Amino acid sequence: MQSRREVLTTASAMATGTALLNEAVAAEQNPAAQVADRSSTIRISRMRATWVGPTVYLKIETNHGIVGWGEIKGVDPRVSKPLVESLYVLIDGENPTRIEHLWQKIYRAHRDIRGGAFMVHTLAGIDMALWDIAGKLWNTPVYRLLGGPCRDRIRVYHTPQAVKVPPHGIYEHSGSPADIERMVAAIRAARQKVGPSGAVMFDAHSAVPPATLIQLASAIKAYDVLFIEEPAVPGNIEVFKRLKEQISIPLAAGERDRTIWEFIPYLQNRCLDILQPDCCHGGGITSMKKVATLAEAYHVPIAPHCTAGFLGIAASLHVAASVPFFLIHEFYPDNAGFNQKGLTRMAFTLDKEGYIGLPPGPGLGVEVDEKRLEEEAKRPQTYRWPGARLRDGSIADY
């Protein structure tokens, strides 16, 4: 016979055990309790940098067998290749899904070269590869990791519905009537080509002096072009303010500005109507998404600059797909000068209205022909600094 105390003690123990069991079962079935990072064991195990033409292609490998690809553009490959190989020591053995952490680790690694063009362009290639790994790890396109798509398709140029007119030359410090008429005629021809519902953009390319650009703007209607790109050389916000005060056409720039800190003055001084971040130039997907969010706060859309191969194109398109304030995207899939044919492939279809579908996945959605890449890398690689001069022999902006 058990005493009353023994009976109560036994009953209490049984109730406690049942409660613990029920709690364990409930936790097992409760999604909110399943917070362990299933990717916690993935680590970066190797990186290979391959120089072909104007591009350095990056392949980052992991202990899970998942690899990510990125590209470094807009910088001398003789510098970016050894630089990225040096930076690899900062990410070796790290979890590649800690993308923001690794971005900061690289960007802040050296107090005297943070923010420089060579560093940020090189960081962009690493960043793309990390996002590619993350998308492949979770079997989803990168834009879904960025919050999901904000649109069903992406407007691009050049197409029969949207063209960009170049400055047709490098100009002296003032323009002549012939200079103005040449640019006006090119804009007129482009408008006739796309019709009244199409888009015409004029790219001053920082090669048209401010005074000449003001003269040009007064010679065309304010609605003749969607925007004037690169109206001035970056670095002096007062020039941009002067142009905005005197030109009624929307102004766009940003391909030579890197990270949110270089874009802030344009927005604070209200001198650009459209921002043009370049994913390859500005620190990759991580940085470009931040620029787009910063611009959104000022109700300024982005029109990404992009003269890259499919890896850079795809990375930029994934950001464009995921942000609300977006206008149009630069797109050169068939330009051999930017996109070396056969090395990379991305599926896309251009519709009759000048839009392409969302970038494919998982990851960036780009295939790399590694065998051909290795073959091309064995050929002699050269690099020539571009440069430009005026007719009197002095150095020009372009």
pLDDT in tens, 237-288: 999 999 999 999 999 999 999 999 999 999 999 999 999 999 999 999 999 9
Torsion 105-106-111-117 (CA) sign? negative
**The pLDDT of residue 214:** 96
Average pLDDT over every residue of 368-395: 93
- pLDDT in the model for residue 361: 87
Report the percent of the chain where pLDDT is more than 90.
81
What does the pLDDT read at residue 12? Answer: 57
Confidence of residue 174 (pLDDT cuts 50, 70, 90): confident
User: Is the alpha carbon torsion for 350, 356, 361, 363 positive or negative?
Assistant: positive
Residues of the chain with CATH 3.30.390.10: 44-141
Closest by CA to 183, choosing from 201, 195, 165, 199, is: 165
The pLDDT score that the predictor gives to residue 199 is 97
Domain covering 145-370: architecture: Alpha-Beta Barrel (3.20)
44-141 sits in which CATH class? Answer: alpha beta
Give pLDDT tens digits for 190-214.
Answer: 999 999 999 999 999 999 999 999 9
List where CATH 3.20.20.120 sits in the chain. Answer: 145-370
Is the pLDDT at 23 greater than 80, yes or no? no
Instruction: Indicate which residues carry an active-site annotation.
Output: 205, 305
Classified as helix, coil or strand, 318 is: helix
Least confident of 86-100, 186-200, 307-321, 374-388: 374-388
Quote the mean pLDDT of the chain: 91
Q: How many other CB atoms are found less than 10 A from the CB of residue 334?
A: 9
List the structure tokens of 163: 């063209």
DSSP 302: B
Residue with tokens 């971005």: 103
Q: If pLDDT is split at 50, 70 and 90, which confidence band does 37 have?
A: low
Query: What pLDDT is attached to residue 397?
Result: 87
For residue 10, name the pLDDT band (cuts at 50, 70, 90). Answer: low
